[in-house]
């Protein structure tokens, strides 16, 4: 029997695209089932993220007309990442593997075949990566690519040019469930899980209808969330700056003393300059040190799993066998 595949699609005010998306996905899944690549228990799960338009009514009617469609509705709008997580963790209970993708089908659904192939070869996570960004506006491309670089520079490892189009196996999702953080940035968490992973390349299309639900403001908030959820390096910069300024203050101390003994200073200038630099440097350094502790607390309260086991080689009858061999 082949594996059950769930395709999870978060939807927020997507009434314009949903019918088309649904029919394309249904064709895809039906052909996968027909070719025997996935089980006929496979489903397309739409997650309604508190839409204000007819999105959920459309999902309901889709569910009524075809058993391949399933639906999930959140109590209110919780944002893309939370909607996605809700869908993934729900699908995990029914599926062997789950693929997540956006409702606007900007991600090429034909990459699904290759994802399944890699999954069958033993991969637990398969990332969809955009080979080009021709169709994105200059601003989107510039900000997005700059963002990946900044993230990696700050120590949060994300897959370059990978959005949330990916396949995850059941056990990868079970591992994901152990990341309890509320500030959710899936692109950063998933690489932390580990297991055997691979990449599938595809070309990104333009949104075929409706508008992006990620205006610049949401995009910046998302980027900030990504950085602050994964890196305490900004704190380290403060500490380093404080250290540097303290060093400068020592230099200023020497310089001011020399000027003082040369006799060409105003009364009070030396003490003022020295204390200005010294206090500035020490204040920054102290804030940095306090920050280091806060950073540690921050990482602790996330309560991330300390390890995830991939394989355990253990023969429970080994003791018996050892006895046998010693006889």
User: Which residues are near ligand UDP by CB under 6 A?
Assistant: 10-12, 14, 49, 77, 79-80, 83, 102-104, 106, 212-214
Q: Name the nearest CA neighbour of 72 among 104, 96, 43.
A: 43
Residue 136 interacting with Mg ion (CB under 5 A): no
Shortest CB 87 distance to Mg ion, Å: 16
Residue closer to ligand UDP (CB basis): 70 or 83: 83
Residues linked to residue 103 through DSSP beta bridges, in sequence order: none
Q: Are 189 and 116 contacting, i.e. CB atoms less than 8 angstroms apart?
A: no
Residue closer to ligand UDP (CB basis): 10 or 226: 10
* H helix or E strand, kind and range, residue 174: helix 170-176
In our burial notation (b when 16+ CB lie closer than 10 A, e otherwise), range 114-130 reads: bbbebbeeebbbbbbbb
Residue 104 interacting with Mg ion (CB under 5 A): yes
- Partner in contact with 49, chosen from ligand UDP, Mg ion, none, beta carbon below 5 to 8 Å by kind: ligand UDP
Residue closer to ligand UDP (CB basis): 11 or 116: 11
| Cα distance between residue 26 and residue 169, in whole Å | 21
Residue 16 interacting with Mg ion (CB under 5 A): no
- Partner in contact with 208, chosen from ligand UDP, Mg ion, none, beta carbon below 5 to 8 Å by kind: none
Shortest CB 172 distance to Mg ion, Å: 24
Binding residues for Mg ion, total number by CB under 5 A? 3
CA 297-298-302 angle, to 5 degrees, is 110
Q: Which of 21, 42, 106, 249 binds Mg ion (CB under 5 A)?
A: 106
- Partner in contact with 125, chosen from Mg ion, ligand UDP, none, beta carbon below 5 to 8 Å by kind: none
| Cα distance between residue 269 and residue 267, in whole Å | 6
Q: Name the nearest CA neighbour of 179 among 327, 56, 301.
A: 301
- Partner in contact with 11, chosen from ligand UDP, Mg ion, none, beta carbon below 5 to 8 Å by kind: ligand UDP
Shortest CB 131 distance to Mg ion, Å: 17
Contacts of 2 (CB under 8 A, 6+ apart): 36, 37, 38, 39
Residues forming contacts to Mg ion in the complex (CB under 5 A) are: 102, 104, 106
């Amino acid at each position: 029997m082949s594996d059950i595949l769930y395709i999870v699609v978060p939807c927020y005010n997507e009434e314009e695209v949903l019918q088309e998306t649904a029919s394309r996905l249904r064709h895809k899944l039906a052909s996968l089932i027909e070719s025997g690549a996935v089980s006929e228990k496979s489903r397309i799960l739409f997650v309604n993220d508190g839409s204000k338009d007819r999105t959920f009514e459309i999902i309901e009617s889709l569910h009524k007309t075809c058993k391949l469609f399933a639906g999930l509705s959140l109590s209110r709008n919780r944002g893309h990442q939370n909607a996605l997580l809700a869908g993934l963790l729900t699908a995990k209970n029914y599926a062997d593997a789950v693929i997540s993708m956006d409702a606007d089908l900007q991600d090429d659904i034909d990459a699904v075949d290759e994802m399944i192939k890699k999954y069958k070869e033993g991969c637990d996570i398969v990332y969809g990566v955009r080979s080009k960004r021709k169709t994105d506006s200059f601003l989107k491309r510039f900000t997005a690519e700059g963002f990946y670089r900044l993230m990696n520079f700050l120590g949060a490892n994300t897959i370059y040019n990978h959005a949330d189009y990916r396949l995850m196996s059941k056990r990868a999702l079970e591992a994901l469930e152990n990341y309890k953080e509320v500030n959710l940035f899936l692109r950063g968490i998933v690489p932390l899980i580990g297991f055997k992973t691979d990449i599938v390349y595809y070309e990104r299309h333009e949104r075929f209808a409706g508008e992006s639900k990620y205006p610049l403001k949401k995009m910046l908030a998302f980027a900030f969330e990504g950085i602050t959820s994964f890196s305490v390096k900004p704190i380290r910069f403060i500490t380093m700056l404080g250290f540097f300024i303290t060093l400068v203050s020592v230099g200023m101390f020497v310089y001011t003393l020399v000027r003082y003994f040369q006799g060409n200073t105003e009364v009070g200038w030396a003490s003022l300059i020295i204390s200005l630099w010294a206090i500035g440097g020490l204040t920054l350094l102290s804030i940095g040190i306090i920050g280091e502790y806060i950073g540690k607390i921050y990482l602790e309260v996330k309560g991330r799993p300390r390890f995830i086991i991939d394989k355990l080689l253990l023969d429970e009858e080994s003791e018996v066998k050892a006895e046998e061999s010693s006889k």
